[in-house]
Structure formats: C-alpha cells, structure tokens
Amino acid sequence: MTQNLTTAASVSDATTDRDNDAGKNSGWRRWWQPTLAVYTAPVILFVVVGIKLPSIFSKSGLLSVLVLAAVLGIACIGQTLAILIGGIDLSIPATIGLANVLVATLTLNHWSFPSICLVLFGLSIVIGVVNGVLSSLFNLHPLVVTLGTGSIITGGILEHTHGNTGGVVPHFIVDAVSPVGRSFGLPIPASVLIWLVLAVLVLLIERRTTIGRRIFALGANPTAAPLSLVNPVVTRIVVYTVGAISACISGVLLAGFSGGASADIGQPYLFSTITAVVVGGTALIGGRGGYGRTIAGAFITIEVQTLLIGLKVGVSMQQVFLGLIILALVATYGRERSVAQRI
C-alpha cells in the first residue's frame, strides 16, 4: 500500500467514497456497494419520477429540481456538520426565517445588499457562538439549546418587525432561483452555482483541513477528542456558525421564490434538512458520514417530494411518507453502527 502514498487521496473516513483511486486498495470492495447505492439512488429516482412526470426531463424541469436541491443542500451544510459532531441544529429554520425577513425589510429601507450580507454574517457568528458555548459549557443537549435559540430568533424577528415582515426582494435574488436565470452567461441559475462552489469548499474542509478532521473526531469519540487536543468548544462554535451562515444563504435565496418574506418560511427545512442528512447516511451518533452523502440525500428528498406532489399527495401525506423513509433508513443504518462498535 505504500505506492498509494503518491496518489492524491483524501484522509477519508470510513463511510465516504474514495472512487478516484479506489481500485488499488483492498478496502474498496467493501465500501463500494453501500456508497454506490447512496450516489446512484438519486439518478434512479430521477428516472422513476420522470416516468410519472415526463416534464421533469425538460430543461426547465431539470433546473427546477436543481434549484430546489440547491436551496435545501445549502441549508444542509450546517445540519450535516452538526450531526457529524454528534449534535443537531434545530435553529436552522429560524435562521432561514431571519435572513429571509432581514433581506426583504432592509432592502425596503434602502440598505445595500453587501451591507445586508455583513449584518447576516455578524448575526450568524452570534448564533454560532451561543449554540456552541451553551451546548458545551452547561452540558445541555444541542437539541434543547438550538431549539431555544431558534425560538428566540423567531420571536425576536416578530417582535422587531411587529409581525410586518413584508419587504422588497432584489431582482437578482429572484433571478438566482429562477430556472431561466443565468449566471456568467451560462444558462444556469446562480443558486446552483453557489451550491456547487460551497459543496466543493465543504468537501475540501471536511477532508483536507484540521478543523474538518476534528469535527469527525469530536463526533466519533467526544471523550477521546479533548485528550487529542481537539477543543470541543471551539469546534462546536465553528460548526454552529457555519450552520447559521449556510441557513442565512438559504434564507436569502428563498426570498427569491416568494418575492416577499416571512419569519416561518424556514419551517419545512427543520424536517427536510434532517431527512436529507439521514437519507444520505450520516449517522446521528456522529463521526460517520459527510457532506458528499448529504448532497445525494438532498436530491433524493427533493425528488421524493416532487414525485409525491406529482401524484397529487397532499402536504400532510408527504410528511407521512418522508417520516417513514427516515425511520426505515435510520433502522438500516443502525445496524451498520452496531457492527462498527462491536468491541
């Protein structure tokens, strides 16, 4: 295996793919199948959806799916990292709502878009620090902490705007999520391009940086991590800050859909971010999985939703189906875990 040293392989965790140079090492065969399933499922599902709804094969149909997946996929960055460290981030929907409302109301008040971004960035850091510090210092479960911060954020928006969350959305945001939108002269909506850039960045951070590996280490063994110089508080702060930033980006993009704003526009994303992460195969106990899988999970989630809508299944029944999918998958992945922890 020494000759592998020269290949540009990643320091990969157990469950991420290694498809580039995988043929050379013996671990390849064992991981090929489950990994392949995760990445082929969106393609197969896409064809299945297409059989029922042939319009999805059109350019605009394809781009609609891509845009929806992009908004969800970006929001999932934070959820993936939070789940990787063995936590969860329930404040994502509220942060989406915050960004959504702020971009609309501040634009109405003639703020420039860069300054709005700066405000959102600052708020993200505050949210990340609060989530990270509270879930570290007082030994509170992140479930409770992020539920609390989420509730405070939503309450804060409603108090500040007196429930009047309407506003103006800059036209370029509307373009960014429109299937006919263009960027750099290409017929691709900006939101998809943003997702692509962010995805590459997150995958790089996961595999090629110290903080990335520390996120995995903290999730894999929270007792051993501090003994190996992984600072749990700093790591959590980074994770929840990145989570808040990604939620803000999704929130801004969502404003483009409605052309207006609402504090609870993020609510569906509570469930769908967790669905996408879990469907992708990132384990809720932490340390196993990664964003690559979540990308596949986001596509699967959007495609299932599209299919259900196409089949004229009501919103409530969609929830039921997604819930069943999560339960089935968690049960399956649970088996893998018991094997991993057999000692």
Partner 1 sequence: MTTTTTETAEPAQGEMPSPMLTMHDIHHAYGKTVALHDLSFEMLPGEIRGLIGENGSGKSTLVKLLSGVMPASSGTIAVDGRRVVFRSPRAAQRAGIVTVFQETLISAESSVRDNVFLGQDGIARRGASRSAERERALEYFEKFGLETSVLDGSVVHLSLAQRQVLTIIRALTRQWRLLILDESTSALDLQTRDALFDVLREQTRSGRSVLFVSHRMDELQSFVDRATVLRSGAMVGTLEQAAATPDALLRLMSQRASKESLENLDELSHKPDAGASVPGGEEAAGERRVESVRIRADVSLRENSRRFLIEVRAGEVLGVAGLEGHGGAAFLETLVGLRPPASGEVVCVKPDLSTKPVRSYGRAVKDGTVYVPGNRQVEGLFAPLSVVDNMLMATMGEDTTLGCFRMRRLLARTQSLVERLDVEVADIRAPVDRLSGGNQQKVLVGRWLAAQPRVLVMNDPLRGVDIGTKRQFYQLLRRLADSDVAVVLLSTEIEELVQVCDRVAVFRDQSVQALLDRHQMGYDEILEAMFGQNVVAGAAQGGAS
Q: Least distance in Å: CB of 60 to partner 1?
A: 38
- Report the residue from 98, 169, 217, 263 that binds partner 1 according to the rule CB under 8 A: 217
In the complex with partner 1, the residue whose CB is nearer, 175 or 336, is: 336
Rounded CA gap, 131 and 197, in Å?
Answer: 26
Closest by CA position to 288, among listed 241, 325, 335:
335
The CA-based angle 210-192-186, given to 5 degrees, is: 120
Closest by CA position to 247, among listed 171, 157, 150, 326:
150
- Residue 330 makes contact with partner 1 by CB under 8 A: no
Q: Least distance in Å: CB of 139 to partner 1?
A: 15
In the complex with partner 1, the residue whose CB is nearer, 183 or 231, is: 231
- Residue 183 makes contact with partner 1 by CB under 8 A: no
The answer to whether 280 and 293 are in contact (CB under 8 A) is yes
- Report the residue from 55, 60, 210, 332 that binds partner 1 according to the rule CB under 8 A: 210
- Residue 220 makes contact with partner 1 by CB under 8 A: yes
Assign 3-class secondary structure to 41-77.
Answer: HHHHHHHHHHHHCHHHHCHHHHHHHHHHHHHHHHHHH
- Residue 317 makes contact with partner 1 by CB under 8 A: no
- Residue 299 makes contact with partner 1 by CB under 8 A: no
- Residue 233 makes contact with partner 1 by CB under 8 A: no
- Residue 332 makes contact with partner 1 by CB under 8 A: no
- Residue 35 makes contact with partner 1 by CB under 8 A: no
Chain-centre distance for alpha carbon 14? 20
Q: What's the first-to-final CA gap in the chain, in angstroms?
A: 26
- Residues that bind partner 1 in the complex, under the rule CB under 8 A: 1-2, 4-6, 8-15, 18, 25-27, 204, 208-210, 213-214, 216-217, 220-221, 223-230, 287-288, 340-341, 343
